[in-house]
Structure 1
Amino acid sequence: MQRHQTHPLLAPVPGTERHIHSFHYGPSKPQGKVYIQASLHADELPGMLVAWHLKQHLAALESAGRLRSEIVLVPVANPAGLEQVLMDIPLGRYELESGQNFNRNFLDLSTQIGDELEGLLNQDPLYNRQLIRRHLREALGAQTATTQLQSQRLTLQTLACDADLVLDLHCDFEAVAHLYTTPEAWPQVEPLARYLGAQASLLATDSGGLSFDECFTLLWWQLQQRFGHDFAMPQGSVSVTVELRGQGDVSHALAEQDCQALLDYLIGFGAIEGTTGVLPPLLYPATPLAGVEPVMTPAGGILVFCASPGDYLQAGQLIAEVIDPVSDRLTPVYCTTAGLLYARSLRRMATAGMVIAHVAGQQAYRSGYLLSP
């Protein structure tokens, strides 16, 4: 039976306490756990509408006895950021007080957990998975948040830390559907890319910044590197950041389509009982996140795009023109990498040095911090 839980966040000042709301579906003895959250960047709303559609479907599936796993749904993952509106402009990507990205700096507990596991692991991967998850829950439970932002991060990380599958629903500015995951998880995630019609699937083990999805996969990967030569180490978390097109793509038609794609994937994942049809085609092969070209403009001015999300571009192809209406100077902006243009800026007044688009190339050429700020 559905359970609705509320999780209070640390209030920055008296009388302003906010809460995370989680909805729990599934049988009394679940076979696994799936965690889904939406709008961690609070101005990215397509996922929030998808989550609302999911709530209706999951309640019906639970009543029909078709849920095998516990499914935890957090439709509003960032109540603090949702209220940040300045002069009619929502500002949901960064916390205004600290300037920090809401989807960065989650806790890295891999060293602590690894030290605690010394002498406790064996050759049973199921035992090791349960052991690691218990230590992770205890380590998170021992943390003390000192700000509202830390409290929100800790609450979300705790809710998802023992899930077999983590889906973090986001969107870009203007974009086609795409996703981020790890090379290790890609074989299990590829069906999701097919169901969603993702036109780019970007792979990295460590993209930098400790985003929400990577605070789980990176921990398991680091434990695998430390102990995998001597013990049977499972893949404890499949985590995916799902980008549901652009900020303006909020409609019931798209949300129901995406909701059904997620449900079909969960059936294949084993979390829901049922059958699905033939898998749709993969629209574009997975590529390294390190192969993405952030296309910058060298000059400021009116931004006029000459290519749209979903276009496949050749190296050297024109993406946009930047026009200075005072000097009449027109600056063409070209990509240097062949690949799929999967996202571009919403802004139409560019500033010098601004990233205006992202192109998914086939070959890795970047290193270090790979994410947008």
Structure 2
Amino acid sequence: MRVEHQPLLTRNPCTQRHLISFHYGRPGRADKVYLQASLHADELPGMLALHHLRGMLDSAEARGQILGEIVLVPIANPIGLEQTLMHDAMGRFDFNSGENFNRRYPDLAETIRDRLAHELTGDADENRQIIRRAMASALKQIRPSSEIDSMRQAQLLLAHDADFVLDLHCDAQAVVHLYGETPCWSQIEPLARYIGAQASLLASGTGAGSFDEACGQPWWRLAEAFAGRFPIPSGCVAATVELRGEADVDHALARVDAAALYAFLQHRGILAGTPPPMPALLQPATPFDGSLTLRAPCAGLVVFLHKPGAWIERDEPVVHVIDPITGATQVVCSSIRGVMYMRSAIRFAAAGVELCKVAGATALEGGVMVSA
């Protein structure tokens, strides 16, 4: 195993941050998998899961059981990790720019498409290498003007040539769930089974400009752009895995998650050994735009009637919002049936604040429910 330090653009002459990556195996022997944690720096369960996975990979390396290439980045966001306000971690948005750390990644498909029209061939395997070289060239040509942009560039330089990319996050209070690209579901489903996802939300591009989309989306978009002209393989599958809630930084849970990731790496042929039997899929995949967001109809005390992971029926009460002055209680119900996969940590809400989400089987218009 080797450790690499990628310096980020400095904001002043007295400080320097690095993106630190751990590299196992040898490039080119088998597939490459890239895993990073805590891109939203106050979301820490994934960081602990990778801590435990590293111990398992160290043992596998000593036994000569690493067949492919594995790159781990346990602190994907050294900028956000330092951000606190009155003792509270604030790792979702950059204090300097106000940007969400998981947005505004470069659109590599758009950047390299015209160039590829003159370079692609009739061989899919050759085209995979051509596309990866074009991505690397485009990323190296970027001249970041901010520390956060240099961090995005450094992450993508590590991940752009991976066959599978896992971005480990968590929610406020949640069960394990994941986000992926609809065209890649057949390759993501084994991951959903091993990690015990209680919701798998799929979309063909949300337009968010997130890290996982920057890695996986270019391949199926380029395949569509060159359909009938050049064969474009599925060069990278990417998924965002939400490892429960922010407070679920627990050794027992992290060991379970690390074991699940290890089993998935065995399934992918990155690690030697027979993977454990694939568990049942806990819930079928649902469309990303079938997720219903329930919001507070008024200001008040928030009382949830269900825990994350509960099955919610249509028109079932989910939340009480109580005015402590008048005593009036607003009942927030779900207009769909599905799993409530996350809920907010807020217990006194302003009107319109997001309370929780329910994964429904059918696409919605707007995806928002204020009250019922």
TM-score range, shorter chain: over 0.9
Offset at residue 185 of structure 1 (A):
1.2
- 2:185 equivalent in structure 1: 186
**1:147 partnered with 2:157:** no
Contact in 2 for aligned 1:307/1:318 (Cα 8 Å) = no
Determine the C-alpha separation between the residues in 1 that align with 2:360 and 2:7.
43
Offset at residue 17 of structure 1 (A):
1.1
Unaligned ranges ≥5, structure 2: none
Against the structure 1 CA distance between its residues 228 and 162, is the aligned structure 2 distance closer, same or farther, given a 3 Å change threshold?
Answer: same
SS at match of 1:290: helix
Contact in 1 for aligned 2:294/2:357 (Cα 8 Å) = yes
- 1:44 equivalent in structure 2: 43
Against the structure 1 CA distance between its residues 368 and 164, is the aligned structure 2 distance closer, same or farther, given a 3 Å change threshold?
Answer: farther
Q: Deviations over 1:195-248 (max 9, x none)?
A: 111100000111121100001222112211111221111011110100000001
Offset at residue 60 of structure 1 (A):
1.2
Question: Please, what TM-score do these two structures have when normalized by structure 1?
Answer: 0.96
Question: Please, what TM-score do these two structures have when normalized by structure 2?
Answer: 0.97
* Residue type at the aligned position of 1:164: D
SS at match of 2:182: coil
- 2:168 equivalent in structure 1: 169
**1:350 partnered with 2:361:** no
* Residue type at the aligned position of 1:178: H
- 1:308 equivalent in structure 2: 307
- 2:118 equivalent in structure 1: 119
Contact in 2 for aligned 1:177/1:244 (Cα 8 Å) = yes
Determine the C-alpha separation between the residues in 2 that align with 1:331 and 1:11.
50
SS at match of 2:137: helix
Matches within 5 A, 1:1-373: 2-27=1-26, 29-366=28-365
* Residue type at the aligned position of 1:130: Q
Determine the C-alpha separation between the residues in 2 that align with 1:91 and 1:67.
36
Offset at residue 29 of structure 1 (A):
4.9
* Residue type at the aligned position of 1:177: V
* Residue type at the aligned position of 2:99: Q
Offset at residue 277 of structure 1 (A):
2.6
Range with greater deviation from structure 2 (219-228 or 349-358): 219-228
Range with greater deviation from structure 2 (252-261 or 23-32): 23-32
Determine the C-alpha separation between the residues in 2 that align with 1:28 and 1:139.
21
SS at match of 1:184: helix
Query: Structure 1: which 4+ aligned runs deviate by more than 6 Å?
Result: none
Determine the C-alpha separation between the residues in 2 that align with 1:271 and 1:309.
33
Determine the C-alpha separation between the residues in 1 that align with 2:359 and 2:161.
32
Offset at residue 30 of structure 1 (A):
2.6
Q: Deviations over 1:3-23 (max 9, x none)?
A: 100011111122121111000
Contact in 2 for aligned 1:324/1:330 (Cα 8 Å) = yes
* Residue type at the aligned position of 2:349: A
Offset at residue 119 of structure 1 (A):
2.5
Range with greater deviation from structure 2 (319-328 or 251-260): 319-328
SS at match of 1:213: helix
Against the structure 1 CA distance between its residues 326 and 7, is the aligned structure 2 distance closer, same or farther, given a 3 Å change threshold?
Answer: same
Determine the C-alpha separation between the residues in 2 that align with 1:60 and 1:230.
46
Contact in 2 for aligned 1:207/1:368 (Cα 8 Å) = no
Determine the C-alpha separation between the residues in 2 that align with 1:255 and 1:4.
23
Determine the C-alpha separation between the residues in 2 that align with 1:264 and 1:226.
35
Offset at residue 366 of structure 1 (A):
3.8
Contact in 1 for aligned 2:291/2:367 (Cα 8 Å) = no
* Residue type at the aligned position of 2:352: G
Unaligned ranges ≥5, structure 1: none
